[in-house]
């Protein structure tokens, strides 16, 4: 392969693994994929990981991808990291983590979130300041939990980072974040594009402990440090982009934002279920995360805690293959095995109702799919309304959903979303949209080009179009009725 070929690396550091893609910077061709696992520990609301594992996994995934691609190390020109959002990484004076990171789905900080949400003027004021109302997943609530539960450790903190910030700092030696990932902290103001001093004062967080905010995820922030170059087996000349959060990178990979498509909704089916749209409007809805995108527009997002992992757990309990599901019929499952974020039910547990002696186990599994899909699609309707769109308007309902994430490859997931939404779907052919979006950020850092335009030219968001099927309103209404009746108990 000619050494003049320019390739870039996009890294997706997610909850359970790291994936690294090697991409031809000119054509967007995916040359190779490397991956390495992470360990998540904790039960009963605790979810933690050792940030050291993320770095080890990143190095292993990058080396594997470069080796599989068969490209000379010298042909790699740029790298960017997209990471799981909200996680709290606390660094000591030596730059090493003081404790395992609190992950986005750690719900122990629910009481702190509720207390914060009631202060500074209440939810409406939080929406105006940061675009989001504090919930257990937000980093501000996790920091407050640490101050209350581990005050000596909090007092020793010399740096506060998000997962992607931490990895970018290890790559380039610079403490930097971007507007997209920063907007998931609840201490960054999406309106004025800066850390909110009143919020930082409220939670006792010195702004000197925080990374600088780059203008965007494609901003070049340096080149590889000697240690990073050695760990990755790459030259020190590789440009490091600021990077962003995983949802923001997925939007870039889909060609959403900037001068690209706006107000086109996305449903992502992964460990969590997310819905988002790139928009120039700055919506204010207490049930949504009013994120910034990484490139100057907004990325309002609804997130559910229980998606593919919860449904897979039901399949395991029932002794079924995950695809061996049937419509739930009278059975309704609210698969809130880890509490829930949207709706905000952090202490909820799973609920199953409608069982009979003759109930087919496949129907119970199908009802788990339906309950998870309902929760995600209900968040989608909320998001569309916040963007000034009527979810019941045929012109809005006929607009295709872009279905991404691991669940988008599953027959049962795809069928359930089609049936409950009644909408056409676009299932992109690319499997690694977060990593590909990060690769576009890396390419943008090298060339100065708009990463959304690059991803659009690469065609990473294109794929199969599935026509709509008749909407199953009866199942939707049945689940909605059970949720409404059960909510008081789920809140306790």
Catalytic residues: 246
Q: 76-83 and 244-245: which strand pairing?
A: parallel
Measured between alpha carbons, how far is 410 from 421 in angstroms, rounded to an integer? Answer: 16
Of 288, 299, 93, 53, the closest CA to residue 182 belongs to 299
- CB neighbours of 397 closer than 8 A, spacing ≥ 6? 391, 422, 423
SS3 279: strand
Q: Rounded to the nearest 10 degrees, what angle do helices 361-386 and 308-318 cross at?
A: 170
Q: Please compute Rg for the chain using Cα positions.
A: 22
**Within 10 A of 319 (CB to CB), how many other CB atoms are there?**
8
Measured between alpha carbons, how far is 196 from 340 in angstroms, rounded to an integer? Answer: 27
Of 293, 217, 301, 213, the closest CA to residue 260 belongs to 293
Burial of 262 (0-12, 13-18, 19+ CB in 10 A): middle
SS3 91: strand
CA distances from 358 to 192, 361, 371, 463, 478 (A): 59, 9, 21, 41, 20
What are the structure tokens assigned to 422, written together? 């009644």
Given a contact cutoff of 8 angstroms between Cβ atoms, the answer to whether 451 and 443 are in contact is yes
Given a contact cutoff of 8 angstroms between Cβ atoms, the answer to whether 182 and 160 are in contact is no
| Helices and strands in the chain, H and E counts | 17, 24
What are the structure tokens assigned to 277, written together? 């749209």
Overall residue count recorded for the chain in this entry: 492
Instruction: Compute the Cα dihedral for 461, 267, 186, 120 and give only its sign.
Output: positive
DSSP β-bridge partners for residue 269: 273
Place of tokens 């980072």: 161
- CB neighbours of 110 closer than 8 A, spacing ≥ 6? 45, 135, 136, 141, 339, 346, 347
Q: 159-161 and 89-91: which strand pairing?
A: antiparallel
Measured between alpha carbons, how far is 199 from 132 in angstroms, rounded to an integer? Answer: 12
DSSP β-bridge partners for residue 24: 7
SS3 50: coil
SS3 36: strand
């Amino acid at each position: 392969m000619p050494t003049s070929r320019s390739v870039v690396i996009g890294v997706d550091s997610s909850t359970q693994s790291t994936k690294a893609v090697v991409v031809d910077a000119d054509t967007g061709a995916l040359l190779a994929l490397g991956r390495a696992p992470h360990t998540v520990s904790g039960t009963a609301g605790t979810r933690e990981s050792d940030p050291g594992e993320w770095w080890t996994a990143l190095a292993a995934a990058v080396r594997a991808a470069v080796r599989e691609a068969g490209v000379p190390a010298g042909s790699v020109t740029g790298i960017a990291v997209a990471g799981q959002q909200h996680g709290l990484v606390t660094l000591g004076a030596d730059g090493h983590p003081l404790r395992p990171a609190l992950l986005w789905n750690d719900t122990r900080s629910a009481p702190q979130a509720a207390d914060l949400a009631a202060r500074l003027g209440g939810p409406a004021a939080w929406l105006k300041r940061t675009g989001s109302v504090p919930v257990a997943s937000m980093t501000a609530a996790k920091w407050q939990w640490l101050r209350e539960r581990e005050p000596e450790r909090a007092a020793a903190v010399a740096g506060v980072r998000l997962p992607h910030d931490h990895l970018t700092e290890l790559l380039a030696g610079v403490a930097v974040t971007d507007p997209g990932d920063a907007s998931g902290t609840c201490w960054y103001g999406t309106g004025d594009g800066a850390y909110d001093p009143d919020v930082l004062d409220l939670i006792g967080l010195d702004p000197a402990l925080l990374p600088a905010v780059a203008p965007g995820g494609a901003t070049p922030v340096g080149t590889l440090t000697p240690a990073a170059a050695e760990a990755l087996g790459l030259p020190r000349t590789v440009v490091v982009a600021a990077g962003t959060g995983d949802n923001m990178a997925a939007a870039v990979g889909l060609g959403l934002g900037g001068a690209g498509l706006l107000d086109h909704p996305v449903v992502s089916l992964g460990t969590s279920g997310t819905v988002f749209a790139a928009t120039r409007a700055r919506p204010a809805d207490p049930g949504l995360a009013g994120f910034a995108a990484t490139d100057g527009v907004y990325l309002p997002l609804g997130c559910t805690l229980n998606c593919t992992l919860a449904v897979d757990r039901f399949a395991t309990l029932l002794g079924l293959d995950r695809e061996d599901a049937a419509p739930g019929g009278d059975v309704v499952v609210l698969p809130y095995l880890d509490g829930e974020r949207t709706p905000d039910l952090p202490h909820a547990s799973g609920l199953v109702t409608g069982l009979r002696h003759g109930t087919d186990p496949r129907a119970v599994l199908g009802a788990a799919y339906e309950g998870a899909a309902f929760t995600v699609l209900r968040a989608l309707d909320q998001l569309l309304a916040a963007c000034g769109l009527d979810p019941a308007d045929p012109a809005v309902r006929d607009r295709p959903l872009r279905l991404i994430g691991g669940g988008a490859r599953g027959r049962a997931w795809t069928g359930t979303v089609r049936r409950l939404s009644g909408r056409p779907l676009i299932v992109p052919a690319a499997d690694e949209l977060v990593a590909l979006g990060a690769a576009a950020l890396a390419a943008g850092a090298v060339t100065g080009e708009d990463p959304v335009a690059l991803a659009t030219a690469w065609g990473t968001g294109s794929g199969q179009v599935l026509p709509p099927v008749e909407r199953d309103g009866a199942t939707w209404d049945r689940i909605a009725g059970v949720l409404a009746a059960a909510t008081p108990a789920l809140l306790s």
